[in-house]
Amino acid sequence: MTRRYPRTLSVGAHNTVIALNEHEVAKLFTGDTRSDIGSEAEKMQFANRVNGLVARFVRIEYSDEHGSEMLVMERLYPMDYRAYEFSKRELWFDVFEDELLQLHSAGFAHRDIRRPSDIGGEPYDNVLLTSKGLRLIDVGVSALKVKVGEKLFQRYVEEELKEIEQFKTHFLLR
């Protein structure tokens, strides 16, 4: 059975995300995950230097209370996009696409716009509509071109471009 934490917001395949306060959340890393948390922090920081599409990295710390390492990031408050007019959704999507292409040009691929079908949850759980527009969370499987090389990075980008088109249909026409 999965351990339950106070103030849990979500539980993914490998991590739990908890609310720390009104402005911060923490992704909990239990066990020997030093390279995972460091890699994820590095990717978030990279993306944050390019633009504001990916949730903002705050810090890494250890919690005695939870017995785990924590990747602390900004807390996002998602809104239901279906409450907004098509024209607003089009604008939000256009900005989202432009910012994602900026990340690609800088050497960052999110790689999790559409979740794999064998993972529970909604297919676009990692894309949130907030008061500041569409935002991306969970960069655990993201890739940096400097780490994976040009050829593999381009394959990731090509796949992500397909996912963007699928997300566009989902976001605009639902």
pLDDT tens digit string along 77-95? Answer: 999 999 999 999 999 999 9
One-letter amino acid at 86 equals F
What is the per-residue pLDDT for 2?
61
Q: How far apart are CA 146 and CA 151, in angstroms?
A: 11
CATH 1.10.510.10 residue ranges of the chain are: 81-173
Does the domain formed by 8-74 have CATH 3.30.200?
A: yes
Q: How far apart are CA 163 and CA 117, in angstroms?
A: 13
Distance from C-alpha of 62 to C-alpha of 138, rounded to nearest angstrom:
19
Question: Where along the chain do the CATH 3.30.200 domains lie?
Answer: 8-74
Tokens representing 72 are 């602390």
Per DSSP, the residues of 44-103 read HHHHHHH-SSBPPEEEEEEETTTTEEEEEEE------GGGS-HHHHHHHHHHHHHHHHHH
Q: Which region among 108-112, 115-119, 124-128, 163-167 has the lowest average model confidence (pLDDT)? A: 115-119
Q: 3-class DSSP state for residue 20?
A: coil
Return the CATH architecture of domain 81-173: Orthogonal Bundle (1.10)
Average pLDDT over residues 168-174: 93
How is residue 95 written in tokens?
Answer: 């900005």
Query: Looking at residue 158, what is its pLDDT?
Result: 97
Write down the pLDDT at residue 32: 67
Mean pLDDT for all residues in the chain: 92
Greatest alpha-carbon span in the chain? 47
**Calpha distance 29→62 (Å, rounded):** 9
Query: What separation in angstroms does the CA of 47 have from each of 74, 122, 134, 144, 167?
Result: 14, 24, 15, 9, 20
Mapped onto helix, strand or coil, the DSSP state of residue 166 is helix
Whole-number pLDDT of residue 119: 62
For 2-36, write each residue's pLDDT tens digit. Answer: 677 889 998 877 889 999 999 999 999 987 666 68
Confidence of residue 1 (pLDDT cuts 50, 70, 90): very low
* Residue 120 clears pLDDT 70, i.e. is over it: no
Judged against a pLDDT cut of 80, whether residue 170 lies above it is answered with yes
